[in-house]
Amino acid sequence: MITLGIETSCDETAVAVLKNRQILSTVVYSSMHLHKKYGGVIPEIATRHHVEVISYVLKEALKKAHMDLKAMDLISVTQRPGLIGALLVGISFAKALGYSLDVPVIGIDHVIAHLWANFLSKDYPKFPFVGLVVSGGHTSLILVKGVNKYRLLGQTQDDAVGEAFDKVAKILNLGYPGGPAVEEKAKGINKTDGIRFSESFSRDPSLDFSFSGIKTAVLYHVKKRGGVEKLKEKEISEIAFGFQKEVCDTVVRKAISACKNEGVTNLAIGGGVSANSRLRKKIAEEASLNGIDFFIPTLGLCLDNAAMTAVLGYELFKKGVRSDLYMSGFANFDHSPS
Ligand code: KG4
Ligand code: ZN
């Protein structure tokens, strides 16, 4: 079965072609270069960019897959959550394609699709599993009992973890997007010389998250030293390391707690921050200590892409799920299926 995946929830215009769960092509074209100077994604600019490039991204994906549009059996598109204008570009495009090709269209949840990136590998999670989504817009722990059967266990009460990385990078003048910049700055550092952020938050036993405190702690730390301009490169690196360590270790600790609470031994991770090397190292250590099998996508599939959109649509299709042509986009994550 050939599935065309379309993802336009934020600043990436992405199209992928899958044969069952095998990737034939995946193309991602980001409008990040247009947002950089604003320090964050501007919804109107992202939306217009999707309109301009989506046909070309589709062409490229078909070319790479050596496929004709007529070979598509299913179209899977991100329906939620995301920037509403941006979502509507992908959804309208998918509906028009579905109608003209006379193939079904399925709208999928992007947060869940981040977990489904793990189903693009030969070795994938077994149900039930705990899913940890760490992206620019979401930080969620989810108990996944099957395709379209999930329950939210905990989520951030304020900033998403990727958003916290982005804001801390801004405080440290490291540019945007902040996650990779903070990781790069923290490289080679393995102790913080007394810089520790927000211990109380890291000891919180609930499965919810809060990242606004640690972000503010970094801000005050920098202010107390007279501003980032007054800091030496090594000090900036140590702050980046201290923040990254605290955030990644806490996220991993909560994911392991969720597995223990729910009595499950499979953990799947997804979302942009799962590309972070500290998080990847920590999860490997903790999972092995606690007898948990963990799954994390290859680096390219951690960030937004349409292969994960396609594979989730494919699995939903096999379960009999269909969307109709009245489908619209939604800004929020859907917690309800169970
Ligand atoms: O999943 P994603 O591509 O988009 C959303 O669905 O939000 O995640 C983007 C987020 C950004 O906040 C970015 O700074 C963060 O993922 N990110 C990272 C790394 N690479 C991307 N955060 C920490 N370390 C990284 N290496
Ligand atoms: Zn995402």
Name the β-bridge partners of 139: 134
Tokens representing residue 59 in the block: 């062409």
Ligand 1 pocket test, pick from 29, 41, 132, 135 with the greatest ligand atom count within 8 Å of Cβ, gives 135
Cα of 148 from ligand 1 centre, angstroms: 25
Cα of 6 from ligand 2 centre, angstroms: 13
pLDDT value for 336: 61
Cα of 197 from ligand 2 centre, angstroms: 27
pLDDT value for 212: 87
Question: Do 140 and 103 share a structural domain?
Answer: no
Domain that holds residue 284: 124-296
CATH number assigned to the domain comprising residue 130: 3.30.420.40
pLDDT value for 330: 84
pLDDT value for 337: 62
Tokens representing residue 290 in the block: 């606690």
Question: Do 191 and 252 share a structural domain?
Answer: yes
Residues with Cβ within 8 Å of 111's Cβ and at least 6 positions away in sequence, in order, are 81, 133, 135, 138, 140, 142, 333
Cα of 136 from ligand 1 centre, angstroms: 5
Name the β-bridge partners of 107: 77
175 in a domain, yes or no?
A: yes
Which atom of ligand 1 has the smallest separation from the CA of 114?
A: 1
Q: How many domains does the chain have?
A: 2
Nearest to 78 by CA among 135, 145, 8: 8
Do 257 and 290 contact (CB within 8 A), yes or no? no
> Ligand 1 pocket by C-beta < 6 Å: which residues?
10, 135-137, 162-163, 165-166, 177-180, 183, 271-273, 275-276, 303-304
Cα of 303 from ligand 1 centre, angstroms: 6
Do 167 and 215 contact (CB within 8 A), yes or no? yes
Tens digit of each residue's pLDDT, the chain (338 residues): 999 999 999 999 999 999 999 999 999 999 999 998 888 899 999 999 999 999 999 999 999 999 999 999 999 999 999 999 999 999 999 999 999 999 999 999 999 999 999 999 999 999 999 999 999 999 999 999 999 899 999 999 999 999 999 999 999 999 988 999 999 999 998 877 666 666 445 566 789 999 988 899 999 999 999 999 999 999 999 999 999 999 999 999 999 999 999 999 999 999 999 999 999 999 999 999 999 999 999 999 999 999 999 999 999 999 999 998 889 888 887 766 65
Question: Do 259 and 130 share a structural domain?
Answer: yes
State yes or no: cis peptide before 104, omega within 30 of 0.
no
pLDDT value for 39: 84
Ligand 1 pocket test, pick from 303, 305, 332, 333 with the greatest ligand atom count within 8 Å of Cβ, gives 303
Question: Do 263 and 171 share a structural domain?
Answer: yes
Q: Give kind and range of the element (H or E) at residue 2.
A: strand 2-7
State the ligand closest to the CA atom of 112. Answer: 2
Tokens representing residue 265 in the block: 């031994």
Tokens representing residue 60 in the block: 């490229």
Question: Do 312 and 169 share a structural domain?
Answer: no
327 in a domain, yes or no?
A: no
CA–CA distance, 218 with 196 (Å, rounded to integer): 9
Do 178 and 287 contact (CB within 8 A), yes or no? no
Cα of 194 from ligand 2 centre, angstroms: 34
Name the pTM for this structure. Answer: 0.95
Handedness of CA 178, 229, 242, 167 (dihedral sign): negative
